[in-house]
Structure 1
């Protein structure tokens, strides 16, 4: 999956005109890229379209139009686009009440390293997490984590052939396993390159 360049982005003026329709398209697209892990955690699997939307929104919010600023946003977000042999996700831990959130995030320290994906009956794949910066401290975990799940060629082939995909977490405060819906599994398999035949 190709990384984004400045040529792929709309100007602030063009984005202002296209934003309503573009946002609607992305929200529809994202419906097939969510996996809920219980009531308060979810994985949002990123791809080129979702990352373009995030960059366009950041440029809009920050009123960034100079080439240097655009390049910084591209450098920050392009690593979240899958590379063909992996799936990349943003984990969101969501509690509306800030007091409850503080308590629960304290219980969930290290949860990002205990999340997993599994293709069929293969081994669980645990992610490489938060490569941009450390998001835990001694008191709590972050409510947002970035994850990279590296898959073997055989896992990728199986997924593309329709093998089941499950997701879960093996943390003391979040122990769960869920079947990934067929439409989500299909969408995620499209993020992966077909392995070469030896």
Structure 2
């Protein structure tokens, strides 16, 4: 697999086909995965590029303790490489099973897929566990605000999943009108989270992030 870290327009990891539409549609395959030694030797470059890409194009903050990280083939490639690095998995069958799990998180047509992350190390006054709890989270708690309010959908709805950890997998379904408004940029776009007495909103989404999310919808 040929790796090219150079990208003139953005800090994206250029490890995928140059055709953007093909990039968006393809699932991750074993041939996309670097051997452990190769990845380890280049990890610093990959990590720095990954963080820059996430911060500029894929991350939305709601206050200081909650964030959404929108996943695509690029972000999931690094995530999977890190899993293989930490677990030392080299068995192709086991690796393929792991890829099958994460490939389900690559956005489908008209869909935005994100990780909902709660920082439990934030100052006590920022997140009050009696006010906001992931186990009480429902799809209509979190909405994308365009010309209308679009609730999220939980990728997993099992009670045991909702009661574990500090993250959830969520997705938003956008119709053609919502997609065009997101692309146009003239109508403000933001995310809003409300639960019991808790309320948090993001800033209006910057142009670079809107364009990146728009790319996710073009399948």
Per-residue deviation, residues 86-143 of structure 1 (Å, max 9, x unmatched)? 111101110217x999961774242352111122x12x11122142854234xxx641
**Unaligned runs of at least 5 residues, structure 1:** none
Contact 1:43–1:92 (CA under 8 A) maintained in structure 2: yes
Contact 1:105–1:143 (CA under 8 A) maintained in structure 2: no
Contact 1:105–1:142 (CA under 8 A) maintained in structure 2: no
Structure 1 equivalent of residue 99 of structure 2? 74
Do the aligned partners of residues 60 and 106 (structure 1) sit closer, same or farther apart at CA in structure 2, a change above 3 Å counting? Answer: farther
Q: How does 1:1-198 map to 2 (within 5 A)?
A: 1=24, 2-31=26-55, 32-96=57-121, 104=129, 107-108=132-133, 109-113=135-139, 114-119=141-146, 121-122=147-148, 124-131=149-156, 133-134=158-159, 135-137=161-163, 142-162=165-185, 163-178=187-202, 179-193=204-218
Contact 2:131–2:196 (CA under 8 A) maintained in structure 1: no
Superposition TM-score, scaled by structure 2 size: 0.77
In the alignment of these two chains, the number of paired residues is 189
Do the aligned partners of residues 160 and 60 (structure 1) sit closer, same or farther apart at CA in structure 2, a change above 3 Å counting? Answer: same
**Unaligned runs of at least 5 residues, structure 2:** 1-23
Q: Aligned partners of 1:173, 1:183: CA distance in 2, in Å?
A: 32
Do the aligned partners of residues 167 and 106 (structure 1) sit closer, same or farther apart at CA in structure 2, a change above 3 Å counting? Answer: closer
Do the aligned partners of residues 11 and 133 (structure 1) sit closer, same or farther apart at CA in structure 2, a change above 3 Å counting? Answer: farther
